[in-house]
Amino acid sequence: MVSISTPLKNKSVGVIGFNARPIACSAKKAGANVYVSDYWGDDDLTACCDDWIAVLTPTPGARQRQPLDVPLHESLVENLFYLTKKRKLDYVLIGSGFDDYFDALGPLQKEGLLVGCSPNQMSKARDFSALAKIAASLKLSFPKREIVNTPNEALKNSGEFNFPYLVRPTHSGGGSGIRFALNSSDVIRSFGEPEDTEYEPRVLQEYIRGVDISCSVLGAGDLALTFSVQGQLIGMPTAGRNCGFAYCGNYYPSGLADETVSRIAEVSESISKKLKLNGSVGFDYVVDEKARIWLMEVNPRIQGTLELIEATGDLSMTTLHVRASHGILPEKAPELSPGVKMIVYSRRDGAAPNLAQYSNTADRTPQGVIVNRGDPICTIIETGTSMNECYKQASIIALSIQNSIS
């Protein structure tokens, strides 16, 4: 029997994802016994759960991020089953890493453990042809996309897109592998070297210049409620990424005009209901200089904004996620205070400092682990009376961390 007000209390909950710690911490605060399958194995993961297993083994003096023998999504699922083989789970909460690998979640669905969107719902949410039609029905803009198999095929199709455009993997997350193509040489380089004379297919995508936005929605099939509309930090130099498309966090409020925020909230709820999504889901947009709203993609699982929303709204997103999956939505969205989530990426090769000495940090790389330029080091969460104040404080901490890498 699920308690409507405290559905996670005293439940055994598995959490699985590329970065599972924020979801695990939320579920733990909500009273669950939490078991985590994570990629990183960060220093502060232990405090968020009862037991955990990670794909990586952080070792002082060695680089943390290494090539994998088994695809990440498969490793995460296998590790969770291994960790909990002597335990009976009530729920499994899904984070990043499965948007385009939803089939890997089949064994968890078969066991009746998944909370939120099913693999079938995730498949529909990631069908870009279907999303283009939904966008058109809602009078939203949608970028042109085309899958190509070779650099030559890409160049033949370049006329359809006009430079500059994006070349990206068919499966990606967090901005990984996305390349900005200004000319034919950039297109060829974006494919890399072929493996056994075969290139990995790529997606050509129209480049939309504007403000990156995400929208957090609670879905309950035919019902939906927008929780927040926030800005996204993408390729931020302050966070250690000099342009590019790496996800570097979020900020609230978005700074958009009220009517644009209301429109994004409205269409996000419509899309959620059309796709009959369940639980906490995310929608990514770009708002261009003419205030046109471009739908970019749907993330049918708990988003990276969870921790920022919890910090600025004094609530439990995992509790709301489970409640929504059982058809129960709040009457209205919460009032949120200003805040910034910033993921700090290393600007140089070196050893991670003791990150516990820095206030409001999480996802802390263990001290002494070697990070290469571009590797994530930690996350900073700042709340305050204004977004600018929060961003300034996060930036000060980020710079101090960068200067402490030895």
User: pLDDT band at residue 60, thresholds of 50, 70 and 90?
Assistant: very high
Per-residue confidence band for 1, with pLDDT thresholds at 50, 70 and 90: very low
Which pLDDT does position 3 carry in this prediction?
64
Query: Cα–Cα–Cα angle for 300, 315, 215, nearest 5°?
Result: 35
Residue range 203-214: average pLDDT?
96
**Stated pTM of the model:** 0.95
Paired sense of beta strands 33-38 and 12-17, if any: parallel
How confident is residue 104, by pLDDT bands cut at 50, 70 and 90? very high
pLDDT over 50 at 372, yes or no: yes
pLDDT of residue 111: 96
Mean pLDDT of 147-174: 87
Is residue 302 pLDDT above 50, yes or no?
Answer: yes
Using 50, 70 and 90 to split pLDDT, how confident is the model at 2? low
Q: Phi, psi at residue 181, to the nearest 5°?
A: -105, 115
- The three-state secondary structure class of 170 is coil
In the predicted structure, residue 201 carries a pLDDT above the cut 70: yes
Helices (H), 139-295: 151-156, 184-191, 258-275
Q: What is the mean pLDDT of residues 222-250?
A: 94
CA distance 38 to 113: 18
What's the mean pLDDT when you consider all of the chain?
Answer: 95
Task: Select from 285, 287, 261, 135 the least CA-distant residue to 209.
Answer: 287
Helix (H) or strand (E) holding 383: strand 376-383
Q: Any idea what DSSP says for residue 250? A: E
Fold of 144-206: Dna Ligase; domain 1 (3.30.1490)
Average pLDDT over residues 192-197: 83
Confidence band (pLDDT; 50, 70, 90) for 175?
confident
pLDDT at residue 402, as a whole number: 97
Domain with CATH 3.40.50.20 in the chain: 12-115
Query: Does 16 score more than 90 pLDDT?
Result: yes
Query: Which pair of tokens denotes residue 370?
Result: 């070697």
Would you say residue 162 has pLDDT above 90?
A: no
What mean pLDDT comes out for the span 71-79? Answer: 94
Name the burial class of residue 350, with classes exposed (0-12), middle (13-18) and buried (19+) by CB atoms within 10 angstroms of its CB.
middle
Percentage with pLDDT > 90 across the chain: 89
What pLDDT does 87 receive? 95
Among residues 236, 215, 343, 306, the alpha carbon closest in space to that of 23 is found at: 306
Q: What is the pLDDT of residues 34-51, one digit of tens each?
A: 999 999 999 999 999 999
Question: Averaged over 20-30, what is the pLDDT?
Answer: 98
Pick 379 or 194 by higher pLDDT: 379
pLDDT band of residue 256 (cuts 50, 70, 90) is: very high
Say how far apart CA 116 and CA 122 lie, in whole Å. 10
What is the fold, at CATH topology level, of the domain defined by 12-115? Rossmann fold (3.40.50)
